[in-house]
Structures are given as C-alpha cells and as structure tokens.
Amino acid sequence: MTHDIHIIGGGLAGSEAAWQLAQRGFRVKLSEMRGSGEMTPAHQTDGLAELVCSNSFRSDDDTKNAVGLLHHEMRRLDSIVMRAGEIARVPAGSAMAVDRDVFSAEVQRTLYEHPNVTVVRERVDTLPADGPAIVATGPLTAQSLAESIVGATGQDRLAFFDAIAPIVHRDSIDMSKCWIQSRWNKRTEASNEDGDYINCPMTKEQYLAFHQGLIDGDKTEFKEWEADTPYFDGCMPIEVMAARGVETLRYGPMKGVGLDNPYDTSEEHPQGRWPYAVVQLRQDNKLGTLWNMVGFQTKLKYGAQVELFRTIPGLENAEFARLGGLHRNTFINSPLVLDRQLRLKNGEHIRFAGQITGCEGYVESSAVGLMAGLMAAAELGGREWTAPPRTTAFGALLAHITGDAEASTFQPMNVNFGLFPPLYDVGKKVRKEAYTDRAKEDFGEWLGAMEAVPA
C-alpha cells in the first residue's frame, strides 16, 4: 500500500510508533532488517520487539517509582508494549516481567493484523531523502545506516565500548565532607556560586584502599560479538587506568592539584590544602539534581560499584540515578542534533526514536517511540503538538534527551526522579510519592487537553 510514514526498525520503539500512528488512521510502512537474511550480533529471532537482554520491564509500582510511573502513563496512551506485556506477563513480585517469546509474538501478530501497517523485511542503508520517517534502529544500528546518520547529523556516533560514568542524586551527597570549587578557581558563566564541581577529598590511605578496590573488583565480561570493539580514548574505564600504576589516577581524573580543601586548613594553607586525591562530580542536568562522577567510566559490576563508590568521602549514602556500564552502543547526541519534537534539526522530515536517541531500557525506548508516533500523527494531521509537562515521566524523559541534558557529557539514561523538576516542600520519606502524585495529576490534565483537540 502507499504509506503516509516510513518507520525503520521493528524493535520496541518502532513497533510502538507504528501502533500509535496506525491507530490514528495513518498508513505505516515498517521496515525491519531481521527476516530479510540479515541479523544483528545480539538478536536470536526475526520477531518484532524481541527482548534481547532480560525479560523484565522493571518496577510496576506507579506510586513511588519512576519507571512504574512511566508504565502508568504508557497504559493511559494505549501502549502496544503494555498491552502485549500484560498478555505475556509472568510472576515477578512488584516488577513487570514477561515471557519474551509470547511478548514478541503478540506485538508481531497485532501489527501484522492491523490494516494500516505493512511490515517489510528489508535492510535500509541510508536515511530517506524525503517523506516523513522515524528511525528506531536501536543501539546495534547496521553500519551502512549508521554511516548515513553520521553524515546527516555531523556528529560522530559512539560505536565502540562506551564506558559510562555513574550519576549521583545531588541530595544524597554529604556536603559536610565535600565542597564546590573549580580547579584553580576557573569557572564558567553558568557556574554554581563557588565553582562547577563537587569535590570529594581522599587521604593517601583512603586513595590506596580505593585503588586496590578498583583492581580487585568484579568486572563485566565481554560477549563474544563485542570482543573486537575498541575503547573510546576519551572514555577509558577507571579500573583500566588504575591497572597502569598506582599513581596513574592521581595524575588523571583524581588529581587534587588546584583544589583547596576548606576542611583541611593550616597557617601555611589558610584556604585549605590540596587533597592527596579527589573525586569530582559535575552537574549533569539543568535542574542540578543529577551529578556525574567525572572520569569514572567503569566496567565494574553494579554491586561492586555501589560497595566501592560508597567508600568515597561524601558518597557514603549516595543514591545512584545510573551506575557505570560498558557496552557496544550506537546513539546520537540528541541534545545537539534533535529538536524538541525528536526531529533532525537539519532534516525535519526525519524523527528518531528509542535507544538510538540516548534513552536506556525497554520501557524508556518504547515510551520515546510512542511519543515519536504521537508527534508524527499530529504533524500528519495538521495539528499542533504540545509536549507532556516536564513533571510527568514522559515529559521529563523527552526534555532530558532533547535539550535538558548536558550535550558534552550526554550518555544513555533510564527514567528517574532526578530528571523531574524538584520538589522542595516535601520530606525525603514521601518525596517519591509526591513526585508520582504530581505527575499523575499533570498527565491527566495534559491528556484531557490533547484528547479535546479535534483529529
């Protein structure tokens, strides 16, 4: 059939976008490489929306969990992922887990049977030159299409071992042990009152123990298909640096020179002595609620990260919005190359959706695909699109990947309450419930207003 829009990629995001558009009466061509004789290194089947890693959509608690809140909002928008997830659901306590084969089969059956969807098994090598399109090819985008994306965006993709640094919730940092200062007191115009970095000082004994912990900690093992992918020079895992010598980190990301520790003063150093070593954190979002551990890209396993990083002075009770990781990944620098409606700034007929935009996780990928579908449907129907409020899970995630994240340090991110506008007038124990209560009220108002607009 003649189509109104072309979607490239039949994973979670592409399937969700196709469903949302088809349900609104638009004819969709959905191109999926698998089934055409092509296969990615990670997939096992040619089924649409195949779950490559775990079978979990994580917490389904919409009263105090950000991803559970995202589930809630997706259900209210008739998500095909949530529909199929309920049919394929298996016991997992308060989490939502699925039989992955039943889930994929249900998504595929639903889309194949929809009169407005045509699934074509083909590899697409270049971005469409014209006509509305959504690119949802995920973190394992084929090389030829990835090269076309690089040419169109002017920004190199990250198709190497992407060693990601942890991100910490600002309100979990003990500032009685840390201080804010830029090295040599050099600050940007957007600096905090005293500088750009939170500094966590270490004594020699603390540093040596920390260095040994990096050497001894359990680390991620490579999958066979990842083995030949090199590290990116600017993202060398911290434990790889540590293995090069006990002093390497002190002359790299943990150097203390130019930083005056106000908790260690003397007559000789009234402004404070330089620490033996220091861990620096840099603001990671415009709200100032999330801070990135500078230079702390890591392949330590999650449990080892939490145990070791909580030995850092000031981070003893740290809450992590994201732990470090190491994997082959392809994603665009969305805050630079996409507008607020997920459109390519220098090619507005193309939208991007899913993990390639820099979100992380099954549900987040699906949610961005859902939003791309709604945006495209509004545009095709000649209607204005109004984004969900940033107080909602949809709005917070969308704002983060399309401009609120710092482009210079942009990395894949799960939805978390650190992406939401902060609440200052609630106690910490009820903060998460307050976030979800506010989000549900604001989402309901947004949805009501959107449904009131004539199609």
Q: Is the residue at 455 inside a domain?
A: no
The model carries a pTM of 0.73
Please enumerate in sequence order all residues whose Cβ is within 8 A of that of 447, keeping only pairs 6 or more positions apart, or say none: 76, 77
Do 178 and 323 lie in one domain? The reply is: yes
Clarify whether residues 372 and 438 are in a common domain. Answer: yes
Give the residue ranges of DSSP H helices in 77-142: 80-87, 100-113
> Residue 98: which H helix or E strand, with range?
strand 95-98
- What is the predicted pLDDT for the residue at 225? 44
Tokens representing residue 374 in the block:
């709604």
372 and 317 in a single domain? The answer is no
Burial of residue 28 (number of CB atoms within 10 Å: 0-12, 13-18, 19+): buried
Same domain, 307 and 400: no
| CA quadruple 288, 177, 268, 249: dihedral sign | negative
Q: Determine how many CB atoms are found less than 10 A away from the CB of residue 441.
A: 13
Pick out the residues of the known binding site: 9-14
- Beta carbons within 10 angstroms of residue 234's beta carbon: 9
User: Which range marks the domain in which residue 170 is found?
Assistant: 164-327
Structural domain count, the chain = 2
Whether 454 maps to a domain, the answer reads no
For residue 339, the one-letter residue type is D
Same domain, 133 and 276: no
Tokens of 90: 């298996």
- Determine how β-strand 197-202 pairs with β-strand 277-283: antiparallel
Packing angle, helices 80-87 and 362-380, rounded to 10: 140
Tell me, yes or no, whether 149 and 200 share the same domain: no
What is the distance, to the nearest Å, from the Cα of residue 159 to the centroid of all Cα atoms in its chain? 16
Q: Last residue of a domain, which of 327, 360, 378? A: 327
Same domain, 200 and 107: no
Residues 93 and 134 placed together within one structural domain of the fold: yes
How do residues 326-369 score in pLDDT, each as one tens digit?
666 678 889 999 999 999 998 999 999 999 998 988 999 999 99
pLDDT for position 232: 47
**Phi, psi angle pair for 350, to nearest 5°:** -110, 130
Same domain, 359 and 430: yes
What span, in angstroms and rounded, lies between the C-alpha atoms of 433 and 426?
10
CATH number where 122 lies:
3.50.50.60
Overall size of the chain counted in residues: 455
Helix (H) or strand (E) holding 199: strand 197-202
| Position 304, amino acid | A
If one counts every other C-beta atom within 10 angstroms of the C-beta of residue 200, the result is 25
Looking at the structure, tell me whether residues 31 and 142 fall in a common domain. Answer: yes
pLDDT at 295: 85
E strands, 286-330, are: 290-293, 320-322, 325-329
One-letter identity of residue 369: G
- Tens-digit pLDDT profile for residues 190-212: 555 677 889 999 999 999 999 99
Domain final residue pick, 303, 327, 351: 327
CA atoms within 13 A on the CB side of 444: 6
Binding site listing for FAD = 9-14
Task: Kindly calculate the radius of gyration of the chain based on its CA atoms and give it in whole angstroms.
Answer: 23
Using the 3D structure, point to which of 270, 301, 327 is the last residue of a domain: 327
Going by their DSSP bridges, the two strands 117-121 and 28-32 should be labelled as parallel
92's CB contacts (< 8 A; 6+ apart) are 56
Label residue 306 exposed, middle or buried (CB < 10 Å: 0-12, 13-18, 19+): middle
Q: How far apart are CA 434 and CA 344, in angstroms?
A: 35
Q: Quick check: 439 and 385 in contact, CB under 8 A?
A: no
366 and 309 within one domain:
no
CATH number for the domain harbouring residue 224: 2.40.30.260
Residues whose CB is less than 8 angstroms from the CB of residue 299 and which lie 6 or more positions away in sequence, other chains included:
163, 219, 220, 237, 239, 240, 324, 325, 326
Count other Cβ atoms within 10 Å, centred on residue 314. Answer: 21
Q: Do residues 150 and 14 share a domain?
A: yes
CB 256 within 8 A of CB 201: yes
Residue 384's closest CA among 343, 341, 352, 351?
A: 341
Whose CA is closest to 15, among 101, 72, 80, 86? 80
State how far the Cα of 80 lies from the Cα of 78, in Å rounded to an integer: 6
pLDDT in tens, the chain (455 residues): 589 999 999 999 999 999 999 999 999 999 999 888 877 766 778 899 998 766 789 999 999 999 999 999 999 999 999 999 999 888 777 889 888 888 999 999 999 999 999 999 999 999 999 999 999 998 778 888 888 988 888 765 444 445 678 989 999 999 999 999 988 887 655 555 677 889 999 999 999 999 999 999 988 765 554 555 545 445 578 888 899 999 999 998 999 999 999 999 888 888 889 999 999 998 877 788 989 898 888 889 999 999 999 999 999 999 998 888 766 667 888 999 999 999 999 899 999 999 999 898 899 999 999 999 999 999 999 999 999 999 999 999 999 999 888 887 787 789 999 999 998 888 777 889 999 999 999 999 999 998 877 65
Q: What is the pLDDT of residue 223?
A: 57
